Chain A
Amino acid sequence: MTADSSSVALTNEQQTAERREVFQYVLRRFGVYLFTLWAAITVAFFIFRLVPGDPMNILLGNITRAEGRQRDAAEQEVIIARYRKIFGVDDPLPLQYVNYLRKAILGGLDLGPSFVEYPAQTKDLVFRRMPWTIGIFTTSVLLAWLVGTGLGALIGWLQRSRLSQLAVVISTLLQITPVYLVALGLIIYVGYTWRILPAGGPYARHLQPEWTWEFISSLLTHAILPMLSNMIVIGAGFTLGMRALMISVLGEDYLTFARAKGLSPYTVLKDYAFRNALIPQVTALAIIVGATLNGTFIIEVLFQLPGLGTLFVQAMGLRDFNTMQAVVLFSIFAVLTLTLIVDLALPLLDPRVRRTA
């Protein structure tokens, strides 16, 4: 409020200076973003390489099992050597790293072949699985945030009523329940015991992906439980978070003052309490992204959805570096980018967080 009124009185010169400052902040933040992206990818690359265990032996084991006959040692050597060459694991580690970055950046995200579905490209594999993860993740998080923020603001505002106390108890119980327990509960009871909704697989088994009503409705009904598991837990968290923020904002002096001025309760709620409580709530959205992505991976595995989490678990079993790394790369990129967006949006909401170096 003070910031708004004082900005009116700013001279032209001050405005230019302020604009330059904002521009510098955005530029610096973007530089940090790129650096962090690079650093995180690098750390991930080396962590994956430094753990012991040769993926080639596992690959060979799979080939042997598939063919049902044991090869002699010389033949095994030849096969292993061939695959090692294809996957480029013979080079020294620094060279592998440089090659990896070069191909990933200049080669149009060429992340090498995958073991999981050899010879499919890792890139294609990830792009094919990505929509599942993104779909479940974004839909459930956004819905949960909207519902939770609204509900939380309301409960915080009506803090003394019975109904809001009940809502607090219920959301507390839901929030502390791990998302996979909610998922397990839904699978066991809604899916198998009561048979209300399907609880496994992306769509009914006899269907093919196509633009028909039957397929789409099957897709949607299969998506309800996974999304619901995510939404229940995250939504309850957002509700409680927003409520706490509202209550602490309601204790601030400027709110007492606003009431004393005789402003209508609605104005106080909307312009004074809600807006100030919203700032940390937006930050909370950014923070929850990483954890929720983890939760989404687990949900995919439990509901047998062909998303990135399931892909990772498959790749894990084969020590498929390329695929595991690609999934991690995707997660890093997603979390970083969302954090960047929130950080850039934050100064717009809160004049206090202004970079004055």
Chain B
Amino acid sequence: MRNPSIIIGLIMLALIVLLAMAGPAVVQQLLFPGERPGMRGSYRPYQLDSPQHPIGTDGDGRDGLMVFISSIGPSLQIGLIAGATSTSLGVVIGFLAGYARGRLDTLARILIDMVLVIPTLPLLLMLAAYIERWDLYKLSLILGIFGWSFVARVIRPQVQSLRERSYVDLAVLSGENPLEIIFLELLPPLLPYIGYVFSLSIVGSMLAEAGLQIIGLGAGGLPTLGFMIAKGFRESVIAIGLIGQMLLPAGALIYVFLALNLINTGLDEVFNPRLKTTIEGGD
């Protein structure tokens, strides 16, 4: 895998994972030895940027940088767990639906369409309001369960279209059984697409989570990047002059999405060599 996009994407991702894991401890050691920068009321709220507080303090009297650094981890975890859940569910169902003909296909399609059209945002909002204390896993699983239908919906037509191609007919004629056809003929060309969908699901889950927070009925008190942005918007931190408290979490979200996107693009080129030859050899 010497693809530059993948390498850059992976490095970017590794860096932010490192920041999420080691960041809080490092900031604590370097800037606030013996203090509790993440505790409410540790400092005077809404202090402007200073050497002591590089992006100021937030409305609860916590250090902004500390809040930011410790918000990254939960956001990433939510994306990963939810993305993995929805992709695995979606790929299995999408393949079943796309490969099967007749009644099973119809059934699977009805199921997919049904779940797909139940709008997730209102339901998530409702769940968010009813469930008193969200834990991270509960939220991730729920996001994942709401997300599989999208994966299945996009995988199914791909499988269906591939299945109609002549090389698959040839494989059928040469006596391959359905499992062989699925794993040897249909899955390989779709791998980049599945990787792409996985990455999209991660992004989608992180998006949904942050969206919930921003619309203002967020998952009670989960310290994520979305929560920080939502809080910043509600407290108009930009008007106060604490631009960093909005831009850093927003930037971090976009950074993660960019890293995933690069990995995506790279995967596409590695698994689908035609893309590359077209780019290099096309006129």
User: Chain A residues in contact with chain B, CB under 8 A?
Assistant: 28, 32, 35-36, 39-40, 43-44, 47-48, 51-53, 159-160, 172-173, 175-178, 180-181, 184-185, 188, 192-193, 244, 247-248, 250-251, 259, 280, 283, 287, 290-291, 293-295, 297-298, 301-302, 309, 312-313, 316, 324, 327-328, 331-332, 335-336, 339, 350, 352-353, 357
Please measure, in the bound complex, the distance between the C-alpha atom of A177 and the C-alpha atom of B253, giving whole angstroms: 8
Kindly state whether residue B175 has any CB partner on chain A within 8 Å.
Answer: no
B192 CB, nearest partner CB in chain A, Å: 10
Q: Which residues of A contact B272 (CB under 8 A)?
A: 248
Do B279 and A247 touch (CB < 8 A)? yes
Give 10 CB contacts A-B under 8 Å: A39-B114, A47-B126, A159-B278, A159-B282, A176-B260, A177-B257, A192-B238, A283-B154, A287-B153, A335-B119
Chain A residue with Cβ nearest B210 = A178
Q: Which residues of A contact B239 (CB under 8 A)?
A: 192
Please measure, in the bound complex, the distance between the C-alpha atom of A247 and the C-alpha atom of B282, giving whole angstroms: 10
Q: Which residues of A contact B121 (CB under 8 A)?
A: 293-294, 297-298
Please measure, in the bound complex, the distance between the C-alpha atom of A259 and the C-alpha atom of B282, giving whole angstroms: 11
B121 CB, nearest partner CB in chain A, Å: 4
Do A353 and B160 touch (CB < 8 A)? yes
B36 CB, nearest partner CB in chain A, Å: 30
Do A48 and B126 touch (CB < 8 A)? yes
B148 CB, nearest partner CB in chain A, Å: 13
Chain A residue with Cβ nearest B125 = A316
Q: C-beta contact mask, B115-153 vs A, less than 8 Å → 1, else 0?
A: 011111111011101100000000000000000001001
Tell whether A327 pairs with B122 under 8 Å between CB atoms, given A36-B110, A173-B258, A178-B207.
yes
Tell whether A188 pairs with B122 under 8 Å between CB atoms, given A39-B114, A160-B279, A301-B216.
no
Q: Which residues of B contact A287 (CB under 8 A)?
A: 150, 153-154
Do A251 and B214 touch (CB < 8 A)? no
- Apart from A51-B130, A159-B282, A339-B116: 7 A-B pairs, beta carbons within 8 A: A251-B278, A290-B116, A294-B211, A297-B122, A301-B215, A316-B129, A316-B217
Please measure, in the bound complex, the distance between the C-alpha atom of A44 and the C-alpha atom of B122, giving whole angstroms: 10
| B116, B154, B250, most chain A CB atoms within 10 A | B116
Q: C-beta contact mask, B156-195 vs A, less than 8 Å → 1, else 0?
A: 0100110010000000000000000000000000000000
Kindly state whether residue B25 has any CB partner on chain A within 8 Å.
Answer: no
Chain B residue with Cβ nearest A333 = B117
Do A312 and B122 touch (CB < 8 A)? yes
Interface hit among B12-20, B51-59, B77-85, B101-109: B101-109
B202 CB, nearest partner CB in chain A, Å: 12
B111 CB, nearest partner CB in chain A, Å: 9
Kindly state whether residue B44 has any CB partner on chain A within 8 Å.
Answer: no
Do B117 and A181 touch (CB < 8 A)? no
Q: Which residues of B contact A52 (CB under 8 A)?
A: 130
Chain A residue with Cβ nearest B278 = A251
A353 CB, nearest partner CB in chain B, Å: 7
Q: C-beta contact mask, B245-282 vs A, less than 8 Å → 1, else 0?
A: 01000100110011011000000100010110111001
| B102, B110, B117, B261, most chain A CB atoms within 10 A | B117
Please measure, in the bound complex, the distance between the C-alpha atom of A350 and the C-alpha atom of B161, giving whole angstroms: 10
Do B229 and A313 touch (CB < 8 A)? no
Q: Which residues of A contact B275 (CB under 8 A)?
A: 247-248, 251
Please measure, in the bound complex, the distance between the C-alpha atom of A297 and the C-alpha atom of B123, giving whole angstroms: 13
A299 CB, nearest partner CB in chain B, Å: 10
Q: Which residues of B contact A291 (CB under 8 A)?
A: 150, 204
Please measure, in the bound complex, the distance between the C-alpha atom of A251 and the C-alpha atom of B274, giving whole angstroms: 6
| A313, A316, A324, most chain B CB atoms within 10 A | A316
User: Chain B residues in contact with chain A, CB under 8 A?
Assistant: 101-102, 106, 109-110, 113-114, 116-123, 125-127, 129-130, 150, 153-154, 157, 160-161, 164, 203-204, 207-208, 210-211, 214-217, 229, 233, 238-239, 246, 250, 253-254, 257-258, 260-261, 268, 272, 274-275, 277-279, 282-283
Do B211 and A316 touch (CB < 8 A)? no
A253 CB, nearest partner CB in chain B, Å: 10
Tell whether A32 pairs with B106 under 8 Å between CB atoms, given A294-B211, A353-B160.
yes
A334 CB, nearest partner CB in chain B, Å: 9
Do A180 and B210 touch (CB < 8 A)? yes
Please measure, in the bound complex, the distance between the C-alpha atom of A200 and the C-alpha atom of B156, giving whole angstroms: 41
Please measure, in the bound complex, the distance between the C-alpha atom of A350 and the C-alpha atom of B283, giving whole angstroms: 27
Please measure, in the bound complex, the distance between the C-alpha atom of A282 and the C-alpha atom of B250, giving whole angstroms: 31
Do B282 and A353 touch (CB < 8 A)? no
Chain B residue with Cβ nearest A244 = B268
Please measure, in the bound complex, the distance between the C-alpha atom of A47 and the C-alpha atom of B253, giving whole angstroms: 31
A134 CB, nearest partner CB in chain B, Å: 15
Do B119 and A332 touch (CB < 8 A)? yes
Please measure, in the bound complex, the distance between the C-alpha atom of A175 and the C-alpha atom of B254, giving whole angstroms: 10
Chain A residue with Cβ nearest B204 = A291
Please measure, in the bound complex, the distance between the C-alpha atom of A259 and the C-alpha atom of B281, giving whole angstroms: 13
Q: Which residues of A contact B253 (CB under 8 A)?
A: 178, 181
Do A332 and B117 touch (CB < 8 A)? yes
Please measure, in the bound complex, the distance between the C-alpha atom of A32 and the C-alpha atom of B204, giving whole angstroms: 28
Q: Which residues of B contact A251 (CB under 8 A)?
A: 274-275, 277-278, 282
Please measure, in the bound complex, the distance between the C-alpha atom of A290 and the C-alpha atom of B153, giving whole angstroms: 12
A343 CB, nearest partner CB in chain B, Å: 9
Tell whether A184 pairs with B254 under 8 Å between CB atoms, given A39-B114, A40-B118, A290-B116.
no
Chain A residue with Cβ nearest B261 = A176
B76 CB, nearest partner CB in chain A, Å: 15
Chain B residue with Cβ nearest A336 = B117
**Residue from A36, A53, A180, A357 in contact with B211 in the complex, judged by beta carbons closer than 8 Å:** A180
Q: Which residues of B contact A324 (CB under 8 A)?
A: 122, 126
Please measure, in the bound complex, the distance between the C-alpha atom of A335 and the C-alpha atom of B258, giving whole angstroms: 29
